[in-house]
Amino acid sequence: MHHVALSVKDLDASLIFYKDLLGTKEGKSFERKDLGGRAVFLVLDNIQLELWQPYEQKPNKDDLTDLNTRGIRHIAFEFDDLDAKYKELKAKGIDIDEPAPGASVSKLCQLRDPDGMVVELYQKQ
């Protein structure tokens, strides 16, 4: 997989959030007037996260917090030391659940990005 694209309401706010969360650097950024928006790529280890802000904002038709809604339920990122990442984010004032045991991972916790998307952080066993 090359990248995942998230459509965001405020590119600058989302860029700050994901850079703080992932400790990553910005990659290519571009504006596409023909497509009606602008974007920035964040470079992760083996995939890129594209943050796309359309100029014309349309409200979501589905409630993304409802687990029965089609589409992306959440995105997940792995950390070697989840407790350290949790403390770092709490110190920055980010509202995040405390790490708890997971079914297929050692532990996990969740938070929401500036657009309300559920973001899961986990640590392997």
Residue 100 pLDDT > 60: yes
In this structure, the answer to whether residues 84 and 44 fall within a common structural domain is no
Mean pLDDT, residues 12-31: 92
In a domain, 106, yes or no: yes
**In this structure, are residues 14 and 52 in contact, taking their beta carbons and an 8 Å threshold?**
no
pLDDT in tens, 44-56: 888 899 999 998 8
What are phi and psi for residue 117, nearest 5 degrees?
-65, 135
In a domain, 32, yes or no: yes
Q: How many CB atoms neighbour CB 21 within 10 A?
A: 21
Q: Look up the domain containing 86 and give its range.
A: 73-125
DSSP 65: T
In a domain, 65, yes or no: no
Structural domain count of the chain? 2
In a domain, 31, yes or no: yes
In this structure, the answer to whether residues 47 and 1 fall within a common structural domain is yes
Nearest to 100 by CA among 114, 77, 82: 82
Tell me, what CATH number does 87's domain have? Answer: 3.10.180.10
